[in-house]
Amino acid sequence: MLVANYGSGSAAVIPIGPEGKLAEPTGFTQHAGASVNRRRQRGPHAHSINVSADDRFAFVADLGIDKIMIYQLDVEAGTIVPGDPAFVALKGGAGPRHFAFAPDGKHAYVINELHCTITAFDSVPTAGTLTEIQTVPTLPSNFEGDNTCAEVRVHPTGRFLYGSNRGHDSIAVYRIDAMKGTLTFVEHETAGIKTPRNFNIDPAGAFCLVANQGSNSVVVFRIDQQTGALVPTDQKISVGRPVCIRFLP
């Protein structure tokens, strides 16, 4: 199990025993540094970890230092060591939060909580490298007010990408260019959405479930398979301050 520690800005590898019990960490790394937002970036804040499809690399998005740290992962030994390169830097103050790979592993995307943007990368799966190719806003140009971004997801087909806005209270939808990996804006969906801390897409790619931390609910959207747009349904459940949705494999 790989764990990102937000408060301390560190990441750890924790072995899982045959009965599911957790052992002492076998791998650990401490991030260092700061960035330009003195309220949110006085030190490192590791926010999420993603592992490459071949289990060789771990990517840690650190909001506090505006970097995605890249590690070589040894699954058998349970260790992580800096890759080459050891990180990819984002624009100062961006605040990278969550990260997602395209299904083929050739492109990757990070949502920047503070700048309210999504950055697209070319990815070389065998080398564990990321090269920035595009950054797009998650908000409409006429939006006025406070907003922070939260979750980013790629549709199982690799054709669409989704990101959540807290403040504008929306899911931003984009079409992905299959060859270039670049993003084209489709829509902002706002129906029934309030502080979408997290959302997820079912494995078949038919539905998007949005966790509304601000309205104590989870709402369900049908995904238009041609455009990627979210179509509201009448499906909704009440649950106290939902912050994460996962599907069982």
pLDDT truncated to tens, each residue of the chain (249 aa)?
999 999 999 999 999 999 999 999 999 999 999 999 999 999 999 999 999 999 999 999 999 999 999 999 999 999 999 999 999 999 999 999 999 999 999 999 999 999 999 999 999 999 999 999 999 999 999 999 999 999 999 999 999 999 999 999 999 999 999 999 999 999 999 999 999 999 999 999 999 999 999 999 999 999 999 999 999 999 999 999 999 999 998
pLDDT at residue number 184? 98
Q: Residue 169 and residue 211: Cα distance in Å, rounded?
A: 11
Structure tokens belonging to residue 242: 């939902």
137 phi and psi angles, rounded to 5 deg:
-75, 150
pLDDT at residue number 249? 85
pLDDT at residue number 97? 98
Show the beta-strand stretches assigned E in 35-112.
46-51, 57-62, 67-74, 79-89, 96-101, 107-112
Domain range summary for the chain, segments of one domain joined by +:
138-249
pLDDT at residue number 225? 98
The three-class DSSP label of residue 52 is coil
pLDDT at residue number 12? 98
**CATH fold of 138-249:** Methylamine Dehydrogenase; Chain H (2.130.10)
